[in-house]
């Protein structure tokens, strides 16, 4: 395997020689199916008796962080775990509905580790690292065993085997599920494992504690600065390694399917301290969400992709047809996905389904009062399978839809429209999940790894748990085995400086006493991002956004109003800090989208499309991971490129026809 062409230093100042950062992805060589095994064997171990001498900070208690903290605790390390919710079991992972992929091939329908690897590389539009994706497919089978052993109540079929269903971008059924609550059930499994370690004393849990900065000493990540969200107390925490498993940044768009609390602060602060940001513009727009109804909304609701197993997507053939669905005869309906993509039909990947929904709505054939909706119709499935079967499969999702829209989806088709859902971008990490700051590891949705330019459904849970249960415990041990534990305490000047910066920023926000709410700035940023860096992007729009976002950021710092005080529970203050970071990240996303002058996956540059409107990649010039370094000037970050090589899955124009 050839080495990346570029070696680059990060900008955190002093750095000891052995910790010079580079964009070396550290992928092992050799046949792809042997790389992880070989690497695991070659990595160093920490003697069980020595493990308690090392402290590891894990920020995040969702599937990635919860799994990592529990496993490292079980192995005997001294772990400190942080989350901003009141309990680790409230992490956003709890919202995941549809399922988790694994190459178990219980259905005997042609699945294999290689096929999951292939589907994921192709589904990501050839913008992911092959070695990482293969490892993900390999450990997917271990995840299911681990979760079953924890008691996760996966659905089963009559013979007792775990049941599977299909998700987009695959022609096999490999998605394991627990009704529409897969994330919740998996999180309960990880949470039990974590609680066990908390009770055993190997993990100390800090709930309602927000990380507001990373502390870097001599080029290594050595700790974090936190704020107690109830008392406002700012504290220092030192460690030998830090893991960020802090989730995705989809809320930069204001409206998304993410929980309101999801934010970018942890990874953005680490980026400012030297961690490169990978592919920031790669965001996922999910095709099946409840359409926006007005300006009053602060959140959008996902209708799980699993519904596309039995629901048929259509719009009227005629423009402006405002008849209720029941009055539109079969011959006047356009089942556009089935028509256009006969092999995958309604189960095309998310980017393809979203773009097609936008296309038919742009043609004036959208449904609902806004015209921004398409039907997801279960009438045929109810006729074929009977209502009880549909209730059994999707009952809680149908109830949720009925409660939100006041319509009965058993009687009238659901109306759905694409919405921001997931971020494939995140901090750049090497094969060991280590960022460009030595000792800083990044897991789950917070890193950029594995999904390329488009994530396949049910693969985020797989990646989070793979990272937490099966990758980090090895790669962190390898890192720790090469350093001496401790040797630093929180009296170090770097901690004092980071703490002063956090306190200063908090005070500044409180003192501004401007005229506009935090939400008003967030809403405007979200609209810019959705209009110019959303489902479709073009050069003129991105340039417009790049002009407006810095202006908006200045207005925020002059005129935002944050009521209340710092030494108390203050949700407006929490929000203000997060929105300030979104205002910086948004600019980087637009810059990344502008630089990548190709279409790939969820990144659709209007200038780069095939004759029939599909995303057109430019493999010659754009087969790279973009990794951005912070330079101190937000409008002038430095772009580094990790070249991508495809030895096994040869890049081709993606076709789901
Ligand atoms: C509605 C919905 C449904 C989904 N359904 C599926 C599905 O069916 N299948 C699938 O594979 N994927 C699904 N996904 C995606 C998947 O749920 C997420 O990608 C995944 O759960 C993220 O897990 P995580 O551990 O990386 O982060 P999270 O679960 O978001 O956890 C982040 C953790 O970090 C903590 N944190 C964040 N910032 C800070 C900070 N500054 N200080 C302290 N703590 C911090 C939080 O408190 C939390 O504990 C869905 C997503 C949504 C929005």
Q: Which atom of ligand 1 is nearest to the CA of 98?
A: 8
For the chain, what percent of residues have pLDDT higher than 70?
97
d(CA 85, CA 160): 37
Cα 177 to averaged position of ligand 1 atoms, centre (Å)? 17
Confidence of residue 97 (pLDDT cuts 50, 70, 90): confident
pLDDT at 657: 83
Cα(551) to ligand 1 centroid in Å equals 31
Across-strand partners of 415?
A: 375
Q: What mean pLDDT is predicted for residues 113-135? A: 97
Mean pLDDT of the 33-45 span: 98
| Domain-wise residue ranges, the chain | 286-420, 493-624
**Under 8 Å between Cβ of 533 and 590:** yes
Q: How far is the CA of 65 from the centre of ligand 1 (A)?
A: 10
Q: Looking at beta carbons, which pairs linking 339-344 to residues 24 or more positions away fall under 8 Å?
A: 340/657, 341/656, 341/657, 342/657, 343/171, 343/656, 343/657, 344/168, 344/169, 344/171, 344/656, 344/657
Closest-lying ligand 1 atom to the alpha carbon of residue 90: 49
* Helix, strand or coil, per DSSP, at residue 156: strand
Better-predicted residue by pLDDT, 18 or 125? 125
The CATH number for 286-420, chosen from 3.90.700.10, 3.40.50.720, 3.20.20.210, 3.20.20.70, is 3.90.700.10
Q: What is the pLDDT of residue 168?
A: 79
Q: Which of 513, 439, 471, 472 is nearest to 242 (CA)?
A: 439
Q: Whose CA is nearest to atom 35 of ligand 1?
A: 60
Work out which ligand 1 atom sits closest to the CA atom of 263: 38
Q: Which of 85, 445, 579, 602 to mutate to test the pocket of ligand 1 (most atoms within 8 A of CB)?
A: 445
Which residue's CA lies nearest to atom 12 of ligand 1? 460
Rounded CA-CA distance 108/173 in Å is 9
Q: Which residues are catalytic?
A: 350
pLDDT at 217: 97
The region of weakest confidence among 3-7, 207-211, 643-647 is 3-7
Q: How much is the average pLDDT of 158-169?
A: 89
**Residue identifier of the C-alpha nearest atom 15 of ligand 1:** 460
- Fold topology of 493-624: Methane Monooxygenase Hydroxylase; Chain G, domain 1 (1.20.58)
CA-based end-to-end distance of the chain? 33
Give 4's pLDDT tier (boundaries 50, 70, 90): very low
Measured in angstroms, how far is the CA atom of residue 164 from the centroid of ligand 1?
A: 23
Strand 234-238 versus strand 203-206 pairing type: unpaired
Work out the pLDDT band at 167, boundaries 50, 70, 90. Answer: confident
Atom of ligand 1 minimally distant from the CA of 446: 26
Write the DSSP symbol of residue 331: G
| pLDDT, tens only, 556-574 | 999 999 999 999 999 999 9
Hey, how many other C-beta atoms are within 10 angstroms of the C-beta on 492?
17
Cα of 92 to ligand 1 centre, how many Å?
A: 4
The tens digit of pLDDT for each residue in 540-556 reads: 999 999 999 999 999 99
**Is residue 128's pLDDT more than 70?**
yes
How far, in Å, from the CA of 647 to the mean position of ligand 1?
A: 32
| pLDDT band (50, 70, 90) for residue 166 | confident
Hey, which of 96, 260, 394 would you mutate to test ligand 1's pocket, going by the most ligand atoms within 8 Å of its Cβ? 96
Q: Distance between CA 413 and CA 326 in Å, rounded?
A: 9
22 pLDDT band (50/70/90 cuts)? Answer: low
Task: Output the residue whose Cα is nearest ligand 1's atom 3.
Answer: 96
- Express each pLDDT in 53-78 by its tens digit: 999 999 999 999 999 999 999 999 99
Q: Taking residues 455-475, what's their average pLDDT? A: 97
Tell me, what's the pLDDT at 648?
98
Q: Which tens digit of pLDDT belongs to each residue from 590-632?
A: 999 999 999 999 999 999 999 888 899 999 999 999 999 999 9
Residue with the smallest CA separation from ligand 1 atom 53 is: 258
Examine the pLDDT at 349 and tell me if it is beyond 50: yes
pLDDT at 15: 32
CA distances from 51 to 67, 224, 287, 496 (A): 18, 21, 46, 28
Rg (CA), the chain: 24
Strand order of the sheet with strand 203-206?
203-206, 78-82, 55-59, 241-244, 440-442
Residue 396: which pLDDT band, with cuts at 50, 70 and 90?
Answer: confident
Rounded distance between C-alpha atoms, residue 453 and residue 423, angstroms: 9
């Amino acid at each position: 395997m050839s080495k990346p062409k570029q070696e680059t230093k990060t900008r955190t100042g002093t750095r000891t020689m052995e910790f010079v950062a580079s964009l070396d992805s550290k992928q092992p060589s050799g046949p792809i199916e042997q790389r992880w095994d070989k690497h695991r064997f070659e990595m160093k171990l920490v003697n069980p008796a020595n493990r308690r001498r090392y402290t590891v900070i894990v920020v995040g208690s969702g599937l990635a962080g919860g799994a990592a903290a529990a496993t490292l605790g079980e192995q005997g390390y001294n772990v400190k775990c942080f989350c901003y919710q009141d309990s680790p079991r409230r992490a956003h992972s709890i919202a995941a509905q549809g399922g988790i992929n694994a190459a178990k091939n219980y259905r005997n329908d042609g699945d294999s580790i290689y096929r999951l690897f292939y589907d994921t590389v192709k589904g990501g539009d050839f913008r992911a690292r092959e070695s990482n994706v293969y490892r993900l497919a390999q450990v997917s089978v271990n995840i299911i065993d681990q979760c079953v052993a924890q008691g996760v109540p996966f659905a089963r079929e009559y013979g007792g085997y775990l049941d599977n269903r299909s998700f987009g971008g695959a022609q096999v059924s490999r998605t394991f599920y627990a009704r529409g609550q897969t994330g919740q059930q998996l999180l309960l499994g990880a949470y039990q494992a974590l609680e066990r370690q908390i009770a055993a004393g190997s993990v100390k849990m800090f709930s309602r504690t927000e990380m507001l900065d990373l502390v870097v000493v001599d080029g290594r990540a050595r700790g974090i600065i936190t704020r107690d969200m109830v008392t406002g107390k700012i504290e220092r925490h030192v460690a030998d390694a830090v893991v960020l498993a802090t989730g995705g940044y989809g809320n930069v768009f204001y409206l998304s399917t993410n929980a309101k609390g999801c934010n970018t602060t942890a990874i953005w602060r680490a980026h400012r301290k030297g961690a490169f940001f990978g592919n920031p513009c790669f965001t996922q727009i999910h095709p099946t969400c409840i359409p926006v109804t007005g300006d009053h909304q602060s959140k959008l609701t996902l209708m799980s992709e699993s519904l596309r197993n039995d629901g048929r997507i259509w719009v009227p053939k005629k423009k402006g047809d405002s008849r209720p669905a029941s009055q539109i005869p079969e011959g006047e309906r356009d089942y556009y996905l089935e028509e256009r993509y006969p092999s995958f039909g309604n189960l095309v990947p998310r980017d393809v389904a979203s773009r097609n929904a936008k296309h038919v709505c742009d043609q004036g054939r959208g449904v609902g009062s806004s015209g921004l909706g398409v039907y997801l119709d279960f009438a045929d499935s109810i006729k074929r399978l009977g209502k009880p079967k549909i209730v059994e499969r999707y009952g809680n999702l149908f109830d949720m839809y009925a409660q939100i829209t006041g319509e009965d989806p058993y009687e009238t088709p659901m109306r759905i429209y694409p919405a921001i859902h997931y971020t494939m971008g995140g901090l750049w990490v090497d094969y060991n999940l280590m960022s460009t700051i030595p000792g800083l590891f990044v897991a789950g949705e917070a890193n950029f790894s594995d999904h390329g330019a488009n994530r396949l459904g049910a693969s985020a849970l797989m990646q989070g748990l793979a990272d937490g249960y099966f990758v980090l415990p090895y790669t962190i041990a390898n890192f720790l085995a090469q350093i001496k534990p401790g040797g630093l305490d929180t009296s170090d000047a770097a901690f004092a400086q980071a703490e002063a910066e956090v306190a200063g920023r908090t005070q500044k926000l409180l003192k501004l006493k401007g005229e506009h709410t935090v939400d008003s700035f967030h809403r405007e940023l979200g609209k810019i991002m959705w209009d110019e860096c959303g489902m479709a992007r073009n050069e003129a729009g991105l340039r417009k956004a790049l002009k407006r976002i810095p202006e908006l950021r200045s207005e925020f710092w002059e005129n935002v109003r944050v009521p209340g005080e710092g030494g108390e529970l203050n949700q407006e203050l929490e929000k203000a800090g997060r929105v300030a970071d979104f205002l910086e990240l948004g600019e980087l996303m637009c810059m990344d989208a502008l630089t990548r002058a190709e279409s790939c996956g969820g990144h659709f540059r209007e200038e780069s499309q095939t004759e029939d409107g599909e995303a057109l990649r430019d493999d010659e010039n754009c087969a790279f991971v973009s990794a951005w370094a912070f330079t101190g000037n937000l409008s002038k970050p430095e772009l580094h490129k990790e070249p991508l090589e495809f030895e096994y899955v040869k890049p081709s124009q993606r076709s789901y026809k």
